[in-house]
Amino acid sequence: MGSTTMLIGTWIAGFLTLAIFSFLYKDNPVYKLAEHIYVGVSAGYWLIYVAFFDVYPMLIQGFQDETGLEKWILLVPGALGLIMLSRWFPRTAWLSRWPIAFTVGVGAGLGITANIQGYVMPQLQATLLPVTGWNIVSLNNVILTVGVITTILYFYFSKPHKGALGWMARVGIVFIMVSFGASFGYTLMARISLLIGRLYFLLSDLLHVID
């Protein structure tokens, strides 16, 4: 039973992989079918996960099991969640601004402290690097510091980019371009890896050409 299920699953996965690949030749109904199956399955999956891993255990079961304030406080997120559904009806759509405002407020409050504490300060600290003589570590530290300063200066638009500022901004562009190049290279590597993964599946699991 298990192996039969695996076999059918492998065939379905193989068919869907080839259906998606067929778009490389040109758009066609088989590709569209695979695309719609993917979207539908993903949406269904999310719905089930949210219902059974969040709404039921955290809200419904929680309301049944808890007592006192722990129980009644659950009415607040429950009500906010229900109010979100008011967006379906034009006359009551404005009500949905309340849960959105709550979410934005909490998110902004948490985000400000987290970004300062967890990003700005550690990254600033990591940019203040020592130069300890003529060695490769010091050279790296100098390049990193120059890169940070000149890149920031490139985005300083309150003065015309002329003279020393213009020169440093041009150096900043070089660093930005190197960053774009690195990102492009990594992106290419990622896309090739995905192709390798799918072709390995076709050659190994479906066709058994390789182990």
CA angle 66, 67, 72 (to 5 degrees): 90
Tokens representing 44 are 């269904």
- Binding piece for another protein, criterion CB under 8 A, among 1-9, 88-96, 158-166, 175-183: 175-183
DSSP state of 196: H
Residue 88: what are its φ and ψ, rounded to 5°?
A: -65, -25
**Shortest distance (Å) from residue 62 CB to another protein:** 8
Question: Measured between alpha carbons, how far is 32 from 173 in angstroms, rounded to an integer?
Answer: 42
Give the residue among 72, 98, 74 at the shortest CA–CA distance from 85: 98
Q: Pick from 28, 92, 135, 187: which binds another protein (CB under 8 A)?
A: 187
Please say whether the beta carbons of 204 and 211 come within 8 A. Answer: yes
**Three-class SS state of 6:** helix
Does 58 contact another protein by CB under 8 A?
Answer: yes
Q: Pick from 6, 33, 174, 203: which binds another protein (CB under 8 A)?
A: 203
Does 114 contact another protein by CB under 8 A?
Answer: yes
Does 92 contact another protein by CB under 8 A?
Answer: no
Please say whether the beta carbons of 16 and 211 come within 8 A. Answer: no
Does 193 contact another protein by CB under 8 A?
Answer: yes
Q: Interface mask (CB under 8 A) for another protein, residues 24-43, using x and -?
A: xx----------------x-
Q: Pick from 69, 108, 136, 189: which binds another protein (CB under 8 A)?
A: 189
Interface residue list for another protein (CB under 8 A) = 24-25, 42, 45-46, 49-50, 53-54, 57-58, 107, 110, 114-115, 117-119, 122-123, 125-126, 144, 179, 182-183, 186-190, 192-200, 203, 209-210
